[in-house]
Structure formats: structure tokens, C-alpha cells
Amino acid sequence: MQSYRLTKILTNTTVYIILTVFALFMLFPFIFMFTTSLKEPQDTFRYPPRLLPREPITTFVEGFDEPLPLYYVEYEGKQQQFALAQDNIKIGVYADPNNPDVTYEREIREVRPTGGFTNQETIPIDGEEMDLFDIEVDGQVIPMIQVSQTALGRFVSVENPEVSVLQNVRLSQPVENLTAHPENYREVIELQGLDRSLINTTMVTVLVVIGQLATSVVGGYAFARLRFPGRDNIFLVYLGTLMIPFSVLIMPLYQLMVWIGWVDNMAALIVPWIFTAYGTFLMRQFFITIPREIEEAALIDGASRFQILWRIFLPASAPALATLGTFSFLYAWNSFFWPLVVINTGNVQNHVLTLSLNVLRGRASDSPNLILAGAAIAILPPLIIFILGQRFFVESVTSSGVKG
């Protein structure tokens, strides 16, 4: 009994570990999107990459007008936070020609040539004349040659600006803290007119969802409950079309839009999409499960077909309506191919979100934070709706015509 329980705990732990790893795999791109959308542009180009947005800290130091960035600096054997007071100071590395292994670093502009500026002394080394400079070491002036040049930054102590250390800026570790730049969202909205695209997408989605629900409900009711010649054949044709790829339709549909004059118009994004064979099929499948008796009683009482549909079928079909509504919502919100074809790149006014993102991708290629802020604007609304209506979403998929 003991070993059975142990095996069970071990199995469950393994299951949880695997499930969590996959969950992280599924979620990581979204977490990455969200955190990157809050970063500064230069923070997005770091290697190794970091998930959370960070920003160098700056501080005011006495004697300086501008705030100075803080860095970690080795001073008196301890790591301390110093402010970068001056960058790009030219430093010469000097060595005694007789003892070239010991080098000294001095600021170039403070070093004087041996013998004065006009007639600097030189020394031949390996057949080449090298300039000599006066370098003071422990109070003693020694003529030395310049071995190499470098640029360093001068870091000063925040408490006592007199204390300073020279150090390579590029190799120094800046002091950073966690930040967030939600203004990226405002910036990308202004850059690409995403507010208008968001409204366009919302409008298209609302109208397509309402239209699909309306046509599917009445069509589904007709298929499920009303007998008329040709009903079953028409239904078979509907079923057959579920398999036809959209790419077959896209050219003739485009030509139809050209002919009607809807190219570049929002109408082209809405009107052709409110008729759906899939939705009609879904509603029909749901309606045939509703018992006939209620309906027949209502018919005897003199109710019209429309009243029956409105008062009996609709209230009973909330799950099916939610399923169809979510599918048509996602379809309308996320569609890209058709808008790409039918709305021209120049017509920014009528761009939906996906189209704007496509343009933004080229325009803001040097600021991934803005691109991902745009992506977040497109992804977050369905995500929020998904979290709110999670029950409907997942349950609906499990019931959408898949009979195990």
C-alpha cells in the first residue's frame, strides 16, 4: 500500500512537471511580447536577452547639471556605485623603452612631450623613430614612449565627487532597476494610427458577429425544423462547401468587389462574411436537439414561426450562440489575407489591426518594443475575452461537431 501511494505521488509529480513545461512553452512568447512591449528600444537589443524591462539608473551629483548614469566600479578593493561623469577620455598607455613591460596610463592631454612641443625628442626602436613623453612616476619624471591608446570613462563617487576612477565604460556594468514604459503603447498608436485600426477592427468584428448569428439562426432553424422541397439537398451542398479552401474564392470574390466598387471599402470586410455555411450547420445541429413538443404546443396556440424562434429557440440556445459567436469573433478579429487583398496599403483610414501591424513591421523594424506593443494591442482583446469566457470557449470546441 505504501509503495502504491509513493508511485502515485511520483507519477503525479512527473505529470505536473511535463504539463508545466508545456504550459511555459505555450505562454513564453506571450510573456516575452508583454515585457518587451514595456522596454526601452536599446534594452531590446541586448545579448544575452533579458525578459524583464530594465533601465539604467541616473542620479544627480554635485557640480553637474545633468543627471549622471550609475555604474558598478571597483574602488579600494570594493564594488561601489559610481556616477559616470565624463565619457570618452583619451588615455595613452606609456612605457619606459628600457622596461617596456611596465605600463602607465595617463590622460593624453595632460602628458607633455619630452623637450617641449616644438622639438620633441625621439628614440629609435626596431629602426623606427618613436616620440618620447615625460611621464611622472612617484614624483620622478621619466621619458617614455606611447604603447597604445584607449578611451575610458571617469566615474565619480556620488557622495564625494572629488574621488574618481578611470574605467572602460563599455565593459562596466550599469546599475539598473526594473521599469516599465507603458507610453510605448501610446507611441505606437500615434505612429501607425492604431486607434483608428482598433475601431475599424472592432466595428467589423461586431457587425460580422451579429450578422453571422442572425443569418445562421434563421437558416439553422429552417434546416432543422421547417419542411420544404430541396431542403436536404441544399443542406448537403452546404456541408460540401465546408471543405473548399478560401484561396479558391479569393480571386472571384475580389473581382466581385471590383465590380460592385467595394475595393478599399469596409463593406468588403463585412458583407461577404456575414453568411456562413459553418454557422448554419452548427445552429442546425443544436436546434434538432430541442424537443418538438414545446414548439407544437406554441403552434397550436397560434404563435408564428418567428415568435417560436425568438421566444423558445433563442433563449434555449445560449451555448450554441456563444460557440458560434466566439468563432466568428476570432475569425473576424484575426483575419489577414482578405483585408490584405482588398484594402490597399495607401488607404490607412480603412486599415484593420492586422493590416496596420503588417505596415508597422516594416516601419518600426528598429524598435521591436513598438512592434510588440502593436502585436499586444491586437492579441490582448481576444485574450481578455477568452479569460472572461473561458468556460464557453473551451467547452464549445469540445462540442463543435466532434463526436468521439
Partner 1 sequence: MATVTATPGHQAQNTDAWLTIAVVWHALLCVASLGGTFWLWQTETIAGQSWLQTLLTVLLLLMAAASGLAAPLIIRRDHRGRVLSLVVNYLGFLVCFFGAWHVLGIFSGLNDLAGTFGRGIPFLFAVFIGYLVGAFGDRFEDNPAQQQLFQRIGRIIMLVAFVMFLFAIGLVQGLIAIAGRIDGPLPIALAVGSVLFATMIWVMWRQPAADAMNANNSHTEMLNGYLFLSPNLLGFLVFFAGPLLFSLYISFTDSDAFSTPNWVGFDNYADILNMSIAQLDAPNQPFSEVMDVSTYSEMTRFNFFGQNIVIGAEDRLFWLALRNTIVFVLVAVPLSVIPALFLSNLLNSKIPGMKFFRAVYFIPSIAAVVGIALIWQLLFNATIGYINYFIATGIEFTNQILGTAIADPQIRWLSDSRTALLSVIIIVAWQTMGFNTVLFLAGLQNIPKDLYEAATVDGAGSWAQFWRITLPMLAPTTFFVVTMTTIQAMQVFDHIFILMNPPAGPNNSTLSMVLYLYQKGFQRFEQGYASAIAWVLFIFIFALTFLRFQRERASAYEG
**Which 296-315 positions form the footprint of partner 1 (CB under 8 A)?**
302, 305, 309
Cβ at position 365, least distance to partner 1 in Å: 9
- Any idea how long the chain is? 404
Give residues 222-241 in contact with partner 1 (rule: CB under 8 A).
222-223, 226-229, 231, 234, 237-238, 241
What binding mask, one character per residue, do residues 251-290 give for partner 1 by CB under 8 A, x or -? xxxxxx-xxxxx--xxx--xxx-xx-x--x----------
Cβ at position 362, least distance to partner 1 in Å: 8
Is the sign of the CA dihedral 129, 130, 131, 134 positive or negative?
negative
Give residues 4-43 in contact with partner 1 (rule: CB under 8 A).
12, 15-16, 18-19, 22-23, 25-30, 32-33, 36
Whichever of 151 and 388 has its CB closer to partner 1, that residue is 388
List of residues 6+ apart from 227 with CB closer than 8 A: none
Q: What CA dihedral angle connects 269, 275, 279 and 284, to 10 degrees?
A: 170
Cβ at position 87, least distance to partner 1 in Å: 24
Q: For partner 1, which residue of 244, 294, 297, 388 counts as binding (CB under 8 A)?
A: 244
Give residues 195-224 in contact with partner 1 (rule: CB under 8 A).
195-196, 199-200, 202-203, 206, 214-216, 218-219, 221-223
φ/ψ region of 112 (left if φ > 0, alpha if ψ in -120 to 50, else beta) reads: beta
Q: Does 375 contact partner 1 by CB under 8 A?
A: yes
Cβ at position 380, least distance to partner 1 in Å: 9
Cβ at position 321, least distance to partner 1 in Å: 12
The cell for 264 is: 478599399
The cell for 18 is: 511535463
125: β partners? 128
Instruction: Tell me what percent of the chain is helix, strand and coil, each rounded to the nearest 5.
Output: 55, 20, 25
CA distance linking residue 91 with residue 107, whole number of Å: 5
Distance of CA 389 to the CA centre of its chain: 23
| Piece of 106-114, 135-143, 154-162, 330-338 that binds partner 1 (CB under 8 A) | 330-338
